[in-house]
């Protein structure tokens, strides 16, 4: 691999001698984690590839692009063979089902919009896998996430910092807000300073079979995108059908179940004769009502957060908040567990995460428990 130009990124730098060190690489079978394994090998460290099997092998063996399933496990093993490193597979299907899939279903039934990728990072990936890496005597655990870890920031008083990925189109910091300081000090993210095209180039230069493999889906265990269908399969006795009402409580129609709706949704309401487009403003699991209103009813002034994870040390300066994975961070302030926006924010949904930033640095974040509407119900 000496003839392949590797990135100097502060994590695994070509030419840095890590002989005598051991690196465990979390391998999903995709191009990103495969290149991370190659970067680790290039340092001279003993490198071990580890894959968590998160699906039933019989069901998943033919599924591609799902992450941690049958074909993906074979791809990870092929890459490890190519690199000449050991590869281990650990069955964590039960853990994944309990920590991610079951919670996904329960959150939808409770009228919230879940983010299973964060739950996966909090559980199987950054808890279970990190423990495995330590049990294997590794000096660090490396993953293919597009975020940057800045070591010894501010003199090292508070440990490493988590920063956004250098490529805005690939930045995954929103999904890693729950990473703890202890985890961050042990983790490595070698791809954080690279654009995705360069990662594929490195894979091709190394002759890795996954160089052109498509990226996995955002929600790997819902391959057809039918969230409601999965929830009904997991919770067949749950009946959340009910009324569609306006802000004043007037019944406008009926719906087939709360699981078909999310805050901010416009399509699928099938309400005729409305003077202006209606959007889902909130979901009420206790009454089974879908409350709708005009777009201005989606505006919120603040949100209450729960299970806040703070990576900011003693940071007290201005911050921005990102309330959806595809949203732009907006100015806000954190007052205890209350996130107050400088201007009305839209699309703030319970169950989603509010991730806090100071420029490129990730300060942490929390789960949105409830919101404060800018428009008082009529």
**Same-domain status, 196 and 267:** no
**Same-domain status, 140 and 281:** no
**Same-domain status, 111 and 59:** yes
Asked, for residue 370, whether it belongs to a domain, the answer is no
Asked, for residue 76, whether it belongs to a domain, the answer is yes
**Same-domain status, 196 and 291:** no
Asked, for residue 225, whether it belongs to a domain, the answer is no
**Same-domain status, 123 and 249:** no
**Same-domain status, 196 and 248:** no
**Same-domain status, 287 and 196:** no
Give pLDDT, residue 18.
78
**Same-domain status, 246 and 131:** no
Structural domain count of the chain: 2
Asked, for residue 15, whether it belongs to a domain, the answer is no
CATH number at residue 286: 2.30.30.280
Residue 285 has pLDDT above 50, yes or no: yes
> Cα–Cα–Cα angle for 367, 142, 361, nearest 5°?
45
Of 205, 230, 254, at which residue does a domain stop?
205
C-alpha 83/C-alpha 65 separation (Å) is: 22
- Provide the residue range defining the domain that includes 263: 239-296
| Residue 206: φ, ψ to 5° | -90, -5
97-111, 226-240, 266-280, 296-310: which has the highest mean pLDDT? Answer: 296-310
Model confidence at 217, pLDDT cuts 50, 70, 90, reads low
**Which residues, listed in sequence order, are joined to residue 364 by a DSSP beta bridge?**
310, 356
Residue 54 has pLDDT above 50, yes or no: yes
pLDDT in tens, 66-77: 555 578 899 999
**Same-domain status, 244 and 197:** no
Task: State the pTM of this model.
Answer: 0.88
Residue 303 has pLDDT above 70, yes or no: yes
**Same-domain status, 26 and 136:** yes
pLDDT in tens, 307-321: 999 999 999 889 999
Residue 22 has pLDDT above 70, yes or no: yes
Residues recognised as catalytic: 120, 220
Distances, alpha carbon 40 to alpha carbons 88, 142, 290, in Å: 16, 8, 51
Of 274, 296, 318, at which residue does a domain stop?
296
C-alpha 12/C-alpha 38 separation (Å) is: 10
Distances, alpha carbon 180 to alpha carbons 130, 183, 364, in Å: 12, 5, 9
DSSP-derived pairing of the beta strands 147-150 and 161-164: antiparallel
3 state SS of 36:
helix
Asked, for residue 322, whether it belongs to a domain, the answer is no
Residue 208 has pLDDT above 80, yes or no: yes
Residue 282 has pLDDT above 50, yes or no: yes
């Amino acid at each position: 691999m000496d003839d392949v130009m590797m990135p100097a990124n502060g994590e695994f730098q070509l030419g840095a001698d890590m002989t005598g060190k051991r690196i465990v690489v979390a391998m999903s079978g995709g191009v990103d984690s495969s290149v991370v394994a190659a970067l680790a090998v290039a340092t001279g460290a003993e490198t071990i590839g580890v894959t968590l099997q998160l699906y039933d092998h019989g069901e998943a063996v033919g599924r591609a692009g799902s992450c941690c399933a049958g074909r993906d496990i074979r791809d990870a093993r092929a890459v490890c063979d190519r690199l000449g490193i050991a590869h281990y597979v650990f069955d964590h299907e039960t853990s994944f089902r309990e920590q991610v899939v079951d919670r996904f279903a329960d959150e939808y039934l409770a009228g919230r919009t879940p983010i299973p990728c964060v739950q996966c990072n909090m559980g199987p990936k950054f808890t279970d896998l990190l423990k495995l890496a330590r049990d294997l005597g590794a000096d660090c655990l490396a993953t293919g996430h597009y975020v940057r870890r800045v070591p010894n920031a501010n003199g090292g008083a508070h440990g490493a910092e988590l920063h956004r990925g250098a490529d805005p189109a690939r930045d995954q910091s929103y999904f890693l807000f729950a990473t703890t300081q202890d985890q961050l000090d042990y983790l490595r993210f070698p791809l954080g300073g690279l654009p995705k095209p360069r990662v594929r180039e490195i894979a091709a230069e190394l002759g890795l079979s996954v160089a052109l493999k498509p990226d996995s889906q955002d929600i790997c265990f819902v391959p057809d995108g039918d969230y409601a269908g999965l929830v009904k399969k997991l919770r067949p006795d749950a009946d959340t059908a009910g009324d569609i009402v306006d802000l004043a409580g007037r019944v406008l129609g009926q719906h087939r179940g709360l699981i078909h709706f999310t805050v901010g949704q416009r399509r699928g309401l099938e309400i005729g004769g409305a003077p202006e487009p209606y959007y889902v403003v909130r979901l009420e699991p206790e009454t089974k009502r879908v409350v709708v209103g005009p777009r201005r009813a989606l505006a919120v002034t603040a949100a209450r957060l729960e299970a806040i994870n703070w990576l900011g040390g003693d940071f007290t300066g201005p911050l921005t908040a990102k309330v959806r994975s595809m949203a732009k961070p907006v100015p806000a302030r954190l007052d205890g567990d209350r996130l107050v926006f400088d201007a009305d924010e839209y699309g703030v949904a319970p169950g989603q995460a509010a991730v806090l930033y100071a420029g490129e640095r990730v300060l942490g974040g929390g789960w949105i428990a409830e919101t404060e509407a800018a428009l008082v119900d009529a």
